[in-house]
Structure 1
Amino acid sequence: MNFLLGLWRQRNYRMATIVGALAALWLLSGVLLKDGKQALLEAEVAKSASAIPTERMKISGRYIEAQPYTTRVVVNSRSEANRSVQLRAELDGAVAGLPVDEGQYVAKGDVICEIAAEDRPEKLTRARASLKKAELDFAGAQKLKGRGLQSGTQMAQQEVALANARADLKRAQLDVQNLKIRAPFDGVVNSRAVELGDFVRRGEECATILDLNPMLIVGEVSETRVGSLQLGAPASAQMQNGQIINGQLRYVSQQAHAVTRAYRVEVAVANDDGALRSGISARMALPTGEVMAHRINSSLLTLNDAGLLAVKILDEDQRVVLRSVQLVSDESDGVWITGLSPRTLLVTVGQEYVSVGEQVEVELEETGGDLPAPFTAVEPEREPVSVKQAAQASGESL
């Protein structure tokens, strides 16, 4: 303490201490005044910012109406001939004639293959003569029996002889008739298994004929959907080349496939001009019922927090609502969805820039039953309110 008193008695130290204290007070007063002024300015800025009205986001919307939509089950399928028959020889012999070529259309009864007659016509003539003789013998035996000159055993032998003669004639007639193998129905000769001069045996294939009208579109439906199918209901299929064909569901199997556990279905399609071929891949659509649904553009779909499909719509106060929907069908001209009210105001342009619960200003598009592809959305300009703008509005300058 004596040391400090000694320094204070010296004039130079005393003056330096006073000057330092005054400088410290001057600096401290500047900091305090600046902090107070800054706080006052920021309060004025916040008050001005709250006085500026926030502009609503401008978006486009459209009222969409629910429409009846036929639900369908779509399965992979293929075209198949209505009937496919392998014509087989019923006699042994050489092929003597092939009147039609492969790929040629034939009518019922047309000759497809012809086997050499050999001695079969002569056998037919002999069978006819034998039958005539057997009939005369039987008539004579009956007269003798009437006079009591014919025993019962002899009459039985005559009856057997007559029956044998009739059977031989029938066999000879069938042999001559089977020399020509004929088409059992109208169709096309798809392939021939023999050539002129080949020797065929009974049961060997001569040709394959296809019935292509109607053409069948066949596929398999899972066990969970087969119960909703109705015989006779209209159906359609898209061929591999893009062609759309329509027909009727004519057959649903009553037993599942042993491996796939699916049920075979057949759709009959008219093929009068023969343009459809067997074995072409297709996608078959079978009706299963009807629901009320909306059709929108697929780009309007989004996901909610649960990862489910949803769309953005507007409520009565023009606030954005994220509504979950169910996808019914995905087609080239849009998607069909359920889960919305019969009449719904859908956000069509600007849905990427608004959040759920936000109140917006909507410009209505032309109302229609479904929705075309939306225009390219341009992000609306909405400048945020800055501190500088608020200060200028209040007449203050930083």
Structure 2
Amino acid sequence: MLLFASALSTTLPALAQEMPTTLPPTPAIGAEVVRQPWSDPLESLGTLKANESVILSATVTEIISTINFEGGEQVKQGDVLVRLDDTQEEADLRSAQALRQERQNAVNRLTQLQSRNLAPRADVEDSRAQLQQVEADIQSLEALLANYTIRAPFDGVVGVRRVSVGTLITPGTELATLDDVSSMKLDFQVPEVRLGVLSQGLPLNATTTAYPDQVFEGEIATIDSRVDPVSRSIQVRAVLDNSAGVLKPGMLMRVTIARSPREALVIPESAVVPQGQRKRVWVITDTEQGTIEQRDIEVGSRREGEVEVTAGLEAGELVVTHGADRLHSAATIQLLGMEDEDTSVSDILQSQRSGEGN
């Protein structure tokens, strides 16, 4: 027994000398606590409409004589798009204009005679009434002729034409569409419980799968005066700038309304370590020594990949975002890099692998 104790006493100091006094640092990636604009997003789906939109059609039955567009052109208000055959109406107008000249001459003659007491006043008044009747007929014919010329009611883009020269059209026949797409109306539904946070002028962002890398900015222009009693939602209309001309009527868009805009402390969501009801982060206290401390924080709202911190951190502090699952109170870290808007985790890891390879 004494021999075993003696051997053990001589072995333990040797083992203690061979064991490392400290554990190697844990590789980790960090991020800075930053202050940036923040809001509580309210999301919905909406459908785009042109700022102004109309289906071009005629109000008379006639044959098309001229079409001045092919489709897709930008036109100005008043541009002639389609002409109908108005040969008969033009002849009727010329006839009426000739009759007006005849009646005008009759009025002039009778007026001169009446001034010399050679014609009764009643004849003068009758001739003037006949002249007025002809002028009314001319105005009616001119108004009718205007229906034979279809003009652009506003600036816009003409859609695909539906007819050809020589087609006999009737009132209501669709010739083409005309859309003012310089700006777009975006209609969407919001639950009535969110009505209190809506107001005209509230900014929003909209995205579409057609252009996944683009964010279109706009603002709320109109809030409907009634809540739908079936869906318990209210219709909201926003206006988006479309000076680039990429948005088209009928497109589906995802709407994100920025509620309660404010400045907030923000960290990557990966930095938060849940422990029951508590939320904690590992704070890097010294980047050179790799020392860390665990700290309780309070969080607010979240958005994709980020979380708002309402208490427990200050702007400019550094937190561990990757590698926290291997940390403990006695651990130190080897900071591989800092992730931010310009540097992703994959960039840091790729740079680390490249450095090890060299």
Q: Same fold (TM over 0.5)?
A: yes
**1:249 partnered with 2:219:** yes
Alpha-carbon spacing, 1:57–1:160, altered in 2? closer, same or farther (3 Å) = farther
Contact 2:82 2:149 in 1 (8 A): yes
| TM-score normalised over the length of structure 2 | 0.70
Alpha-carbon spacing, 1:62–1:192, altered in 2? closer, same or farther (3 Å) = closer
Matches within 5 A, 1:111-122: 111-122=80-91
CA distance in 2, matches of 1:336, 1:165: 79
Alpha-carbon spacing, 1:367–1:351, altered in 2? closer, same or farther (3 Å) = closer
Alpha-carbon spacing, 1:206–1:329, altered in 2? closer, same or farther (3 Å) = same
CA distance in 2, matches of 1:207, 1:146: 62
Alpha-carbon spacing, 1:136–1:328, altered in 2? closer, same or farther (3 Å) = farther
Contact 1:70 1:290 in 2 (8 A): yes
Q: Name the larger-Rg structure.
A: 1
Match in the other structure for 1:85: 54
**CA positional deviation for 1:141:** 5.7
**CA positional deviation for 1:335:** 1.1
Match in the other structure for 1:383: none
CA distance in 2, matches of 1:251, 1:176: 40
- Structure 1: give runs of 5+ residues left out of the alignment: 1-32, 46-53, 377-398
CA distance in 1, matches of 2:35, 2:56: 53
Match in the other structure for 1:20: none
Backbone CA RMSD of aligned residues: 4.2
Match in the other structure for 1:323: 297
Identity %: 20
**CA positional deviation for 1:234:** 5.3
**CA positional deviation for 1:359:** 6.1
CA distance in 2, matches of 1:92, 1:142: 46
Match of 1:186 among 136, 148, 155: 155
Contact 2:192 2:234 in 1 (8 A): yes
CA distance in 2, matches of 1:266, 1:239: 15
Matches within 5 A, 1:1-398: 64-71=32-39, 72-139=41-108, 140=110, 144=114, 147=117, 149-151=120-122, 157-158=126-127, 160-225=129-194, 227-229=196-198, 231-232=200-201, 235-241=204-210, 242-249=212-219, 251-256=221-226, 258=228, 259-260=230-231, 261-272=233-244, 274-306=245-277, 310-314=279-283, 319-330=293-304, 334-340=305-311, 341-343=313-315, 344-354=317-327, 358=329, 361=332, 373=345
CA distance in 2, matches of 1:369, 1:294: 14
Match in the other structure for 1:21: none
Greater mean alpha carbon deviation, residues 86-95 or residues 209-218: 209-218
Contact 1:67 1:369 in 2 (8 A): no
| SS of equivalent residue, structure 2 residue 44 | strand
| SS of equivalent residue, structure 1 residue 164 | helix
CA distance in 2, matches of 1:223, 1:131: 65
| SS of equivalent residue, structure 1 residue 131 | helix
CA distance in 1, matches of 2:196, 2:111: 70
Residues 57-110 of structure 1: CA deviation (Å, up to 9, x unaligned): 966685733413142433323433222111221322112222322334433333
Residues 140-162 of structure 1: CA deviation (Å, up to 9, x unaligned): 369638959325xx676555433
CA distance in 2, matches of 1:298, 1:146: 104
Alpha-carbon spacing, 1:256–1:55, altered in 2? closer, same or farther (3 Å) = farther
Alpha-carbon spacing, 1:188–1:368, altered in 2? closer, same or farther (3 Å) = closer
| SS of equivalent residue, structure 1 residue 100 | coil
**CA positional deviation for 1:244:** 0.9
- For 1:270, give the aligned amino acid: N
Aligned residue pairs total: 321
| SS of equivalent residue, structure 2 residue 77 | coil
Contact 1:220 1:262 in 2 (8 A): yes
Contact 1:191 1:208 in 2 (8 A): yes
Greater mean alpha carbon deviation, residues 69-78 or residues 217-226: 217-226
Residues 289-342 of structure 1: CA deviation (Å, up to 9, x unaligned): 422333333333343424x8x342459996523434123321xxx313232333
- For 2:57, give the aligned amino acid: R
CA distance in 2, matches of 1:325, 1:284: 25
CA distance in 2, matches of 1:354, 1:365: 15
Contact 2:223 2:234 in 1 (8 A): no
Residues 247-275 of structure 1: CA deviation (Å, up to 9, x unaligned): 43262223245244122222222334x33
- For 2:71, give the aligned amino acid: E
CA distance in 1, matches of 2:246, 2:338: 42
| TM-score normalised over the length of structure 1 | 0.64
